[in-house]
Every structure is written in C-alpha cells, then in structure tokens.
C-alpha cells in the first residue's frame, strides 16, 4: 500500500493587494490637501499643490522625462533580478557555485564600484548615465542567449551596473535641479517619487518577464532581449535630451582633498555613509534569504504572489515620506528616520531570533519594505543637506563598498563554506540597522544645516 504525503500550501489573503494599493494611493492623492502653503507654486488652483505639478514648466518637463528614463532603468534592473536563484538553478549550478558567482560579483563591485563613483563625479552625471546604459545593454545582449546567461562576465557587468544605478541618476537629477534654480522642497518630493516609481517599475518588470518568458531550449530569451531594447531607448534619450553638464571637483579644491574634508573628516557624512551601508546590506541579505526563510517549515508558498506585496509596501513607505517632513510633520526630521531604522531593525531581529509562521514573516517583511521605502528618500535628503554635489557619487559608492565587503564575507563564510547560519546574517543586518538608527539620532544633536542656508527654501 502506497503512502500518500499531503503537502500543505500557504496562501496569501486576497485583501493584501487592495489594502496596500489603497493605502499608497490615499497617501499620494490626499497629500495636496494637507501640504503647507509654501509647497505650492504661483498657480491658484488646489491641484497645484500636487507633487506631480509643482515647479516651472522647464523643470516639470525635465522631471517627467527623467522619471520616464528612471522607470526604464528600474524595469531593466527588475528583469535582470526577477529570476534570482532559479536562474542559477536552471543553469545547473549548485549552492557553492551560486555563492561563488555572487561573491565574485560583490568583490568586483567592491573595487570597481568605488572607482565608478569617483569617475562619475569627475566626468559628470550625463556621462555616468550613458556608461550605465551601455553596461545594461551589454548584460541584456549577453543574457539574451541561454548559453551566456550564467557566464561570469554577465554577472560581473550586471553587478557593476546595479551598483551605479542609484548614484548616477540621483546625481543627474540634483545637478539639473540646481542648474534650474528650483526650491529644495521640489527636490525632496522628487526623491520619494523616484523610490515610488522604482517600486512600480519593479512590479511591472515581473509582469513583463512572465509575459515574455519562453522555453530555454529555444536558445533566445525574450525578457533579456527586451531589457536590451530598453537600454537602447534610455541611451538614445540621454544622448539627445540630457544637457552636457559637467561639474568638476576643482571648484572646491582637488577631489582627494575635498573628499577627505567633506566625507572622512565630517562626522555627519560618516554617519550617512554608515546608514546607507547598513540599509544596502540589509536589502541584499533580504534578497538572498527571504525565500528560504518563508518556506523553512516545509509548507508550499507561492513566492511570486508574495513578493509583489513587498514592493507595494515599499510604495506605501515612499508615499508616506512627504507626510513626515516639513512644517506639519509630527516629528523632527531625523527623529522620523530614527524611528524607521529602529522599526526595520526590530522587524529583522524578530525574523532572525526564531522560527515564525509564514503569515508573521510576510507581515514583518512588509514592514521591512515599508521602512526601506521611507529611508531611501530620507537619506537622499540628508545627503543634499550635508554633502557637496560634486562628491555625491564617490560618497555613495564608498558606502556601497562597505556593504559589499560585508556581503562578500558572509557569502563566502555563510553560503560557500557554510560556517554561518542564515539567522546570524539577518541578526547582523538587524544590528547594523539599529546602530544606524542610533547614529541618526546623534545626527539630530549635531544638526547644523550649513548647506541648507545657501539655498532657497
């Protein structure tokens, strides 16, 4: 008599999607009615308070084009990462081989990524964005062929492009914002809009990949070919529409002296470096460990239906950003960021402490992503206040380098040599977030917005 083994499948409640979507839409649509008067332009209609319509006509035209290109880049990033571990499994790679590939990519970003930030600062954001799209085009072209999908060079180029994603686009927007002489509040609105559009684009990349995925036996992979096509569109747009603006560090002295003076010798910027590194490491740890953590109890779960909830939570977190900054905010600016860091650290601590039910894990991971959506534009805001724009790329790549150093160590010791448990990695990420929250609290006590005084508010 045969033994029948019944497998229990955990299903996500159907109310999760409409609730998260409604919360995000409400945060965006109700914002104009609760914004302070200085948030509006000369237009008299209440709709002018909307973050999508504030600013001069040239600036609005630039921001719409920028968000379009930034969304294309986010879709390309999502297509390259949507398969995750399954992509390596289809190539026949084992656990140790996967860890070696990922560790090699982290090592490449550790060295080349830091250099790319310095080069971006010296050459200007336009050239950095063009180089980014060229890397994306190379990755899309290589991975379009199934035989090259898991090649070493493909993983290295993809990791380098991902490391440049944030700082090259953020620097480009900040430089153009200053060039047009817009108010700083408009820049802060644009930061959370970037995170909001990125999350929406990552959701869209999942749908696009599911529509275009085909049989590997055909030898040509349509999702990656589509990503290469997006790279061509983004490259042509930047070459045609982006102004050839170059901001050299010579205006504040040599780059090396300026970097030491404004980064290593400024405790406020060092705090931001640590905070950025901690959130980047925790995001990477989540990406590696969320799936095995959820299915650790042996029950089946449709991970492809759970992950969109995380992105929707991130959209809600970014949409809540403008509610906690400004004259009507319930807390001081750094206090809100401190609370977000402590919350996300506690959420990961609970995950790392002991086994949890799948439903509890999903809720904790949603809280994690909501806090990430709030933290990313908050850090961009503080960088604008404390750091010269001429050093933004180098500072961000330096912080990512610290995170990638930790990622490399844990990948080699945890996944390759299997000396560190997954809970230890998550616990380390949680400790880093809690320490970063304490550092942000110290930053409030040192608050002297010297750069804020030089700009129009």
Give the pLDDT of the chain (457 residues) as one tens digit per residue: 444 445 677 878 878 878 888 888 888 877 777 665 544 443 434 444 555 566 677 778 888 889 999 999 999 998 887 665 567 667 777 777 777 777 888 888 887 767 788 888 888 888 889 999 999 999 989 888 877 777 778 888 888 888 888 888 998 888 888 887 777 777 888 898 999 999 999 988 888 888 887 665 566 778 888 999 999 999 999 888 766 655 544 444 587 888 888 888 888 899 999 999 999 999 988 988 888 888 877 777 788 788 889 999 999 999 988 888 765 566 667 788 999 999 999 999 999 887 778 888 999 999 999 999 999 999 999 998 888 888 888 899 889 888 988 888 888 776 666 778 888 889 999 999 999 999 898 887 766 444 444 343 3
Q: Could you give the 3-state DSSP secondary structure of residue 417?
A: coil
Task: Specify the pLDDT at position 218.
Answer: 61
Whether 274 contacts 396, CB under 8 Å:
no
Whether 75 contacts 230, CB under 8 Å:
yes
Residue ranges of domains in the chain, CATH in brackets: 69-446 (1.20.1250.20)
Q: Which helix (H) or strand (E) holds 301?
A: strand 300-301
The terminus-to-terminus CA distance of the chain in angstroms comes to 78
Q: How far apart, in whole angstroms, are the C-alpha atoms of residue 115 and residue 123?
A: 12
Q: Quote the pTM value.
A: 0.87
Q: How far apart, in whole angstroms, are the C-alpha atoms of residue 264 and residue 266?
A: 6
**DSSP letters for 145-189:** BGGGTT-HHHHHHHHHHHHHHHHHHHHHHHHHHHHTT--HHHHHH
Q: Could you give the 3-state DSSP secondary structure of residue 250?
A: coil
Q: How far apart, in whole angstroms, are the C-alpha atoms of residue 168 and residue 127?
A: 9
């Amino acid at each position: 008599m045969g033994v029948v083994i019944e497998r229990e499948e955990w299903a996500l409640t159907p109310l999760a999607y409409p609730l998260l979507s409604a919360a995000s839409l409400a945060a965006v649509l109700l914002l104009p009615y609760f914004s302070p008067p200085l948030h509006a332009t000369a237009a008299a209609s209440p709709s002018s308070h909307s973050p999508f319509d504030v600013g001069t006509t040239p600036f609005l035209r630039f921001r719409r084009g920028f968000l379009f290109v930034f969304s294309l880049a986010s879709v390309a990033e999502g297509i390259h990462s949507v398969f995750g571990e399954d992509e390596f499994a289809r190539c026949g790679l084992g656990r140790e081989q996967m860890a070696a590939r990922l560790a090699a990519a982290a090592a490449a970003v550790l060295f080349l990524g830091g250099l790319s930030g310095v080069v971006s600062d010296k050459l200007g954001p336009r050239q950095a964005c063009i180089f980014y799209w060229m890397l994306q085009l190379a990755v899309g072209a290589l991975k379009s062929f199934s035989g090259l999908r898991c090649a070493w060079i493909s993983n290295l180029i993809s990791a380098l492009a991902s490391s440049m994603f944030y700082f090259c686009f953020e620097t480009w927007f900040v430089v153009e914002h200053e060039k047009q002489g817009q108010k700083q509040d408009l820049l802060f609105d644009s930061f959370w809009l970037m995170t909001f559009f990125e999350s929406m684009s990552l959701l869209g990349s999942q749908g696009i990949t599911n529509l275009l995925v085909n049989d590997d036996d055909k030898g040509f992979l349509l999702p990656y070919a589509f990503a290469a096509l997006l790279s061509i569109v983004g490259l042509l747009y930047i070459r045609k529409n982006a102004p050839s603006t170059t901001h050299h560090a010579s205006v504040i002295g040599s780059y090396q002296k300026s970097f030491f003076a404004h980064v290593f010798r400024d405790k406020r910027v060092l705090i931001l470096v640590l905070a950025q590194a901690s959130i980047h490491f925790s995001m990477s740890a989540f990406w590696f460990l969320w799936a095995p953590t959820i299915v650790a109890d042996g029950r089946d779960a449709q991970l492809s239906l759970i992950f969109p909830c995380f992105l929707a939570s991130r959209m809600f977190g970014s949409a809540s950003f403008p509610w906690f900054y400004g004259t009507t905010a319930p807390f001081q600016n750094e206090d809100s960021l401190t609370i977000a860091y402590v919350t996300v650290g506690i959420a990961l601590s609970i995950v790392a402490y002991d086994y949890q039910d799948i439903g509890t894990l999903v809720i904790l991971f949603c809280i994690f992503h909501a806090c990430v959506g709030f933290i990313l534009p908050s850090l961009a805001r503080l960088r604008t206040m404390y750091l010269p724009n001429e050093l933004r790329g180098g500072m961000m790549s330096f912080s990512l380098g610290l995170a990638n150093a930790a990622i490399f160590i844990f990948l080699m010791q945890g996944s390759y040599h299997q000396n560190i448990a997954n809970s230890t990695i998550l616990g380390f990420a949680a400790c880093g977030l809690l320490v970063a929250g304490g550092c942000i609290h110290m930053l409030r006590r040192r608050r002297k917005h010297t750069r804020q005084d030089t700009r129009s508010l």
